[in-house]
Amino acid sequence: MTFTQTLMSSSREMFPDVVIFSLVPLIPFIIAEQIWPVGKAPRFRDYGMNLLISLSTAYLSLPLGIAAGLWSAQVRHVLPWKPFSFTFHSIGTVPAVGPALEILAMIFVPLVLHDLWFYWSHRLEHRIPVLWAFHRIHHSDERMNTSTWARDHFLQNSWRAFFSIFTLGLIVDLDLAEAGKAALYSNLFLMALSLFYHSAIRVRLPWLDRILVTPQVHRIHHAVDAGYHNKNFSDALPIFDIVFGTYHRPARDEFPGTGLGPEFPAPRSLWAAQFGPVGAVVRMLLPQRRNRRVPASS
């Protein structure tokens, strides 16, 4: 199957899943945010803009994700090393608890690998101006809520998907059936967790803050106050923030405001959200024209 055929087939197949998984899982979190909000409850127009951004990003970032998988499979054959073979089936043979352990391994082994890569890529996105230009659309949400989890620019998603899929494909040779199951289980868990920790629910979980990312922990990362910047980068497991010195454990009533402040207001249209950052990066990379004074005529 050619690249174009794969792209068209994937686009058709993913449409109902994208719509369903973009809308249905939000409902319980939206209800909770309206009942127990942090500050002012999110408005329905806040949810609407985030959904438009997430749906457009899912499709605009698809081509590079497919290319990563295809190129990784081709490059693997010419590598000077043999990719590490891994199977979850051996874990499932443990008496009594084997099947449960196998599912947990399929969730958390990919999650640990993902989070280690995500932690450093996320830090780069905050440090490198070109990457920040795309990532800041996620941080510009002034009323962070459960739908913010998918408020990502399509080029940011493309680079994240390409790098993770391409590099992991060169290192790990996993059975396709097991890879599919592991991806499904770990992604479902991560999506549910991300919906939760992006939510504007006033909840305190101090017993969980050092094990999994919680709404309070991640709200610190989105805080508009510069004193909180460059904290809590992990996507699921705070252990990487703790080990690398960027962890900030929130106090009991620490629920800072979110957004980027008046210098970078949230975009008000889908066009501004997806293509405004592209224009900003083009202007950033092109050499600045010097102001040339036209000599006065004598």
The more confident residue out of 286 and 85 is 286
Q: Which residue has the tokens 């705070």?
A: 238
Q: How far apart are CA 256 and CA 228, in angstroms?
A: 9
Q: Is the pLDDT of residue 298 over 50?
A: no
Q: Please check whether residue 255 is in contact with residue 214, taking contact to mean a CB–CB distance below 8 angstroms.
A: no
Predicted confidence at residue 297, as pLDDT, reads 44
Q: Which residue has the tokens 């009533």?
A: 253
Q: Which residue has the tokens 């094990």?
A: 211
pLDDT interval class at 60 (50, 70, 90) = confident
For the stretch 130-160, pLDDT in tens is 999 999 999 999 999 999 998 999 888 777 7
For the stretch 83-133, pLDDT in tens is 666 666 666 566 666 677 777 777 777 788 788 888 998 999 999 999 999
Identify which of 43-52, 150-159, 232-241, 276-285 has the greatest average pLDDT: 232-241
Helical pair 270-285 and 154-171, crossing angle rounded to 10 deg: 70
pLDDT interval class at 203 (50, 70, 90) = very high
Largest CA distance in the chain: 97
pTM, entire model: 0.79
**DSSP letter assigned to residue 231:** -
**Residue 171: closest CA among 117, 101, 240, 241:** 117
Q: Give every CB contact of residue 154 below 8 A, 6+ residues apart in sequence.
A: 56, 57, 60, 61, 274
Residue 236 token pair = 């699921």
Across residues 42-55, what is the average pLDDT? 90
